[in-house]
Amino acid sequence: MPLDSQPVRIAGSRPKKKALSRRHKGNVYAAIEETKFNRYVVHDLARYRKYIEDGGAQIYSEQELKELEEAGVSDRLPPRATAYYLDLARRSGAVKNLIKARPEEMEDLSGEADPSNQLKYSPVPGLLHKYELVLLYVVRACSSWCRYCYRSDFLTGKTGKDTASIHEITDYITTHNAKVASGEITGKPRIREALLSGGDPMVLSNRNLFDYLNGLAEAGLDIIRIGTKEMAFFPERFDDNFLAMLDLFHELHPQVMLAFMVHFTHPDEFLRLNEAGEYVRDEHGRPLRNELVETAVMKMRSRPFITLENQTPIIDSVNDDPDVLRLMQQELKRMGINNHYFFQCREIEGHRAFAVPVETAWKIHADSQHNLSGIERSRFSLSTEAGKTELVAVIEGDERLRALGGEIGDALAEGLVVFRLHRTPHEDRQSDLVIARRNPEALWITGYEDRIIYDGRKKSQPDKWAQLLAALGPALIQAAE
């Protein structure tokens, strides 16, 4: 459905029907305890000024605040952070750059209002269905807001995306899976997994989060993922009451695995920093961990039905350094968190203020893999409309090959990039390639669309080869002569 035909919705407009979720489960919900957290969330510039007046951690000067107001930066995405994370930002330049708004965000707002055309895959409000996994938008808030946020259009309500009603979602899942089982739907797999996203599901209360977990488990899912940056923003959220709720969930649904897709962007978010912003190390030179984060991780790891996976984009002036990424992968794995993906910054509105060029980001990631063991390594990928698209090679060109003539000569002279469809909703295109002439300035796959010489995203074989055959034409004619 086109963006301009989507109904405009507001936060909380989906019917929650909590009474229906909790019917005949009074004893279950009575066993779920809540903790009243005071995250001291600082939201927008006026409240940040008040926070500073009260002695909070200062990351903006008064001149910077005036420049942000003049630029209208809150119209794109209001600044927001917890006091805990602001104190960390005071000691870490990388963390500061992750949440600190900049006037240049407003200088170029080009980009996709709906990144990767997600609404195309939204059959039910609040749901994306692309693979055997579905994604649910469950809350329109986070404890802090990364300036590069992939979901900024949802957080600000600009594209009409809505929060998910668990009852609508489970009806969709059970109906779809029944049609797959009966053969009424072919070519699409049974839905086996769900990812809770937002916003950050971990800002929900324990009972509200349990509504989603329990509903999805009762719909027959095998794995439920929770996408969260709360372990970096406010690790105290992973307290005993929360863990008791997860234990209760596991007691009721012992066959369902929980995967927490944590979002650490820089080692400073989970390693121990002194007041000078330096790592504190043990007698063997190993960096010690932030005690709050380590406690949260160890509590989660003690549950065999829970896995921890990290994924994050590579962001300018935050983690665009191979040594930083290497340390991050080593120390996350040593702490028991798997390295899942490093992503190219999505082509959201305003992305030019944060994005590292694709080929530069690939080189940073490739260099970071040196001296990593097999179990520490990760992938570098773009979350495109065609699916997770891994950049596997950047091939240097050779000017001598321009003599071949035509587009193929230019391509071999300039060099090639090779993408692989690592994860796609189309079975016939799985692991196919996209090969294009290099473009060192490209910030997203759109920067290669006019340079593609083989396109595995296309279904029919002739179309895949059409551009390459056209490019080869002059060289073949020259050879024949």
Question: What CA–CA distances, in Å, run from 83 to 39, 145, 204, 468?
Answer: 7, 13, 19, 55
Q: What is the mean pLDDT of residues 355-381?
A: 97
Q: Quick check: 21 pLDDT over 80?
A: yes
Q: What is the mean pLDDT of residues 37-62?
A: 90
Separation between Cα atoms, residue 38 and residue 57, nearest integer Å: 16
pTM over 0.85, yes/no: yes
Q: 110 versus 1: which is more confidently predicted?
A: 110
**Residue in 162, 309, 300, 158 with CA at minimum distance from that of residue 228:** 309
* Tokens 């039910």 belong to residue: 124
Element (H, E) at 193: strand 193-198
pLDDT tens-place string over residues 273-328: 999 999 999 999 999 999 999 999 999 999 999 999 999 999 999 999 999 999 99
Q: What is the mean pLDDT of residues 399-417?
A: 89
**Helix and strand numbers, DSSP H then E, in the chain:** 16, 14
- The 3-state DSSP class for residue 341 equals strand
Q: What is the DSSP letter of 125?
A: T
Q: How big is the chain by its Cα radius of gyration, in Å?
A: 24
Give burial (CB, 10 Å; 0-12/13-18/19+) of 184: exposed
Q: What is the mean pLDDT of the chain?
A: 92
Separation between Cα atoms, residue 313 and residue 263, nearest integer Å: 9
**Residue in 51, 79, 45 with CA at minimum distance from that of residue 156:** 79
Helices (H), 339-460: 358-368, 406-414
Point out which residues pair with 117 in neighbouring strands: none
Q: Quick check: 11 pLDDT over 60?
A: no
Q: Quick check: 44 pLDDT over 60?
A: yes
Q: 46 versus 442: which is more confidently predicted?
A: 442
Separation between Cα atoms, residue 327 and residue 287, nearest integer Å: 10
Separation between Cα atoms, residue 413 and residue 149, nearest integer Å: 37
pLDDT tens-place string over residues 218-241: 999 999 999 999 999 999 999 999
Those residues with Cβ within 8 angstroms of residue 133's Cβ, 6 or more apart along the chain or in another chain: 191, 192, 193, 194, 195, 225
Per-residue confidence (pLDDT) for residue 426, from 0 to 100: 84
Q: What is the mean pLDDT of residues 97-102?
A: 95
Q: Give CA 298 to chain center in angstroms.
A: 23
Question: What six digits make up the tokens of 161?
Answer: 């995306």
Assigned superfamily of 3-385 = Aldolase class I (3.20.20.70)
Q: In what order do the strands lie in the sheet with 433-437?
A: 127-129, 133-139, 193-198, 223-228, 257-262, 306-314, 338-344, 379-384, 387-396, 415-423, 433-437, 452-455
Q: Is the distance from CB of 60 to CB of 102 less than 8 angstroms?
A: no
- DSSP string for 251-318: HH-TT-EEEEEE---SGGGTB-B-TTSPBPB-TTSPBPBPHHHHHHHHHHHTSTTEEEEEEEEEBTTT
Those residues with Cβ within 8 angstroms of residue 285's Cβ, 6 or more apart along the chain or in another chain: none
Q: Quick check: 8 pLDDT over 90?
A: no
Point out which residues pair with 417 in neighbouring strands: 394, 436
| pLDDT band of 270, cuts 50, 70, 90 | very high
pLDDT tens-place string over residues 118-177: 889 999 999 999 999 999 999 999 999 999 998 888 888 888 889 999 999 999 999 999
Q: What are the residue ranges spanned by the domains of the chain?
A: 3-385, 388-480
